């Protein structure tokens, strides 16, 4: 696969303070890993800021004006957990724009897969509110752009961050053009994403919330995604597969408090490569969300990039536990009547 990336040192200018977990050193670690292990193997897609029109397809004009007013301010806060600095507004604008450019690179077939190494992250951002370290909802802006510019009608967004992406969830909750699938810990911020929330109106059945247990293993998570994504992708026939790629479910992460390793992320990426081959090979889009242990973050992304750039390998045998097999059965009971699953 031809794999493109977005990387830009201007994302480092979003300063959050020395002790904030969403720190520029996260990207430093990723960029060093890319230089060390993937030099010459990835396509660099230059980043440019999103347009006002693209931002305002998701965010309210009053909220956008509020962000612009933070230009050149010293560190202040948009929300209790979301500090910003003088150049944060531009980094946020650039992060959204990098994701838009990624969509172009996929639709124009410059790349088969794309990974946006951007900050600030986006999946908690609401149309008129910053939250959870997020300013603009990068994935939502990119998905809406794909709908507007390329007339896509079926986009699946897979959110494997340990925190529920309440922003993406709410923005597309009544929209059948975006199928949102989230695995998350309900006991962590933002404490949303109940299993019986399935969407509303035209979007009913197009939201799949999957609360997971902290004791789940790599085999449990890969099995869960295998059993849920296969019927969803077969039934929905997505034209684009997007991943809200947070890595804070890693066992080393100071916030996630889970048991997973980088094997989950590489395993699910391998699954996606297998599943896309059955539905006319839709492009793969990844955008960085959480992940706050620098080594674990870089190593996890390394395994994802190795899967994306390597040949397609068979899936290894799995040994899932009873709890995850019960969860899969519960999810199918909830969602099979909606007709989105093709099990």
CATH number of the domain bearing residue 128: 3.40.800.20
In a domain, 119, yes or no: yes
**pLDDT range class, residue 10, cuts 50, 70, 90:** very high
Distance CA 247, CA 128 (A): 26
In a domain, 116, yes or no: yes
**pLDDT tens digits, residue range 111-154?**
999 999 999 999 999 999 999 999 999 999 999 999 999 999 99
Residue 108 has a CB neighbour count (10 Å cut-off) of: 9
Look up residue 162 and give its DSSP letter.
S
Distance CA 61, CA 45 (A): 28
In a domain, 26, yes or no: yes
Residue 164 belongs to domain spanning: 3-338
In a domain, 276, yes or no: yes
Closest CA to 296 of 262, 322, 319: 262
**pLDDT range class, residue 2, cuts 50, 70, 90:** very high
Start-to-end CA distance of the chain, whole Å, equals 28
Task: Average the pLDDT over 158-177 and give the result.
Answer: 99
In a domain, 343, yes or no: no
**pLDDT range class, residue 76, cuts 50, 70, 90:** confident
pLDDT score for 71:
87
Helix/strand/coil for 99: helix
**pLDDT tens digits, residue range 223-238?**
999 999 999 999 999 9
Residues in the chain: 343
Closest CA to 113 of 102, 98, 125: 102
Determine what percent of the chain is predicted with pLDDT higher than 90: 96
Distance CA 173, CA 96 (A): 21
pLDDT score for 257:
87
In a domain, 121, yes or no: yes
Closest CA to 30 of 38, 41, 21, 19: 38
Model confidence at 75: pLDDT above 80: no
Task: Average the pLDDT over 298-310 and give the result.
Answer: 98
Model confidence at 188: pLDDT above 80: yes
Model confidence at 343: pLDDT above 90: no
Q: How many domains does the chain have?
A: 1
pLDDT score for 310:
96
Structure tokens belonging to residue 227: 């059993």
Structure tokens belonging to residue 148: 């507007």
Mean pLDDT score of the chain: 97
Q: What angle do CA 53, 59, 64 make, to 5 degrees?
A: 80
Task: Average the pLDDT over 57-83 and give the result.
Answer: 92
pLDDT score for 266:
98
Longest dimension (CA), the chain: 54
**pLDDT range class, residue 275, cuts 50, 70, 90:** very high
| Contact between residue 232 and residue 181 where contact means Cβ atoms under 8 Å apart | yes
Model confidence at 285: pLDDT above 90: yes
Catalytic site positions: 124
Give the full edge-to-edge strand order of the sheet including 155-159: 43-44, 3-6, 113-116, 284-288, 240-245, 155-159, 178-184, 207-211
């Amino acid at each position: 696969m031809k794999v493109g990336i977005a990387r830009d040192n201007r994302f480092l200018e979003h300063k959050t303070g020395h002790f904030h977990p969403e720190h520029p050193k996260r990207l430093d670690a990723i960029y060093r890993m890319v230089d060390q292990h993937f030099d010459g193997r990835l396509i660099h897609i230059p980043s440019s800021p999103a347009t006002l029109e693209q931002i305002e397809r998701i965010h309210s004009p009053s909220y956008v004006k509020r962000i612009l007013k933070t230009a050149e301010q010293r560190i202040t806060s948009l929300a209790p957990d979301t500090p910003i600095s003088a150049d944060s507004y531009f980094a946020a604008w650039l992060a959204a724009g990098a994701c838009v450019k990624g969509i172009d690179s996929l639709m124009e077939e410059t790349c088969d897969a794309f990974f946006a190494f951007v900050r600030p992250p986006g999946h908690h951002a609401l149309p008129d509110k910053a939250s959870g370290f997020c300013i603009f909802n990068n994935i939502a802006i990119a998905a809406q752009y794909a709908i507007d510019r390329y007339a896509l009608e079926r986009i699946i967004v897979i959110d494997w961050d340990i925190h529920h992406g309440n922003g993406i969830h709410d923005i597309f909750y009544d929209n059948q053009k975006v199928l949102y699938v989230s695995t998350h810990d309900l006991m962590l911020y933002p404490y949303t994403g109940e299993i019986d929330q399935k969407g509303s109106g035209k979007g009913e059945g197009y939201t799949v919330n999957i609360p997971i247990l902290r004791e789940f293993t790599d085999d449990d998570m890969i099995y869960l995604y295998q059993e849920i994504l296969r019927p969803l992708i077969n039934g929905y026939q997505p034209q684009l597969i997007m991943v809200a790629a947070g890595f804070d479910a890693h066992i080393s992460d100071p916030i996630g408090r889970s048991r997973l390793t980088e094997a989950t992320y590489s395993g699910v990426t391998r699954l996606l490569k297998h599943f896309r081959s059955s539905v006319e090979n839709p492009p793969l889009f990844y955008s960085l969300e959480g992940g706050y242990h620098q080594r674990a973050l870089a190593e996890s992304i390394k395994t994802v990039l190795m899967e994306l750039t390597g040949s397609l390998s068979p899936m290894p045998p799995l040994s899932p536990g009873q709890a995850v097999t019960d969860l899969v059965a519960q999810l199918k009971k909830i969602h099979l009547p909606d007709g989105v699953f093709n099990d």
